[in-house]
Amino acid sequence: ISVRGVTRNGANSAVTVQSGSKVYTVFLEEATLMQTPDGPASVRFAQLGTNSVTLEINGVPATYQIR
């Protein structure tokens, strides 16, 4: 899973995430089911920081730096 882009718009902020050849858009505080090489994973856009985003992947937080 890799973060491809972020749209900042308050409560309507979104992150674009790539998993394999598929690209997903997830809105802040929402989750989606993504297909990964290890099988389906629930990915929730938990937090948007100044230079990072936090995704919860199957309930486990993962922070990605953004530019």
Answer whether 0.85 is exceeded by the pTM. yes
- Provide the pLDDT for residue 67: 79
Cα–Cα distance for residue pair 21/53, rounded to 1 Å:
21
User: What separation in angstroms does the CA of 35 have from each of 19, 50, 59?
Assistant: 7, 28, 16
Cβ–Cβ under 8 Å, residues 66 and 53:
yes
For 19-44, the pLDDT digits (tens) are 999 999 999 999 999 998 889 999 99
Q: How confident is the model at residue 58 (pLDDT cuts 50, 70, 90)?
A: very high
Residue ranges with strand state E in 1-67: 2-7, 14-19, 22-27, 31-36, 39-48, 52-57, 60-65
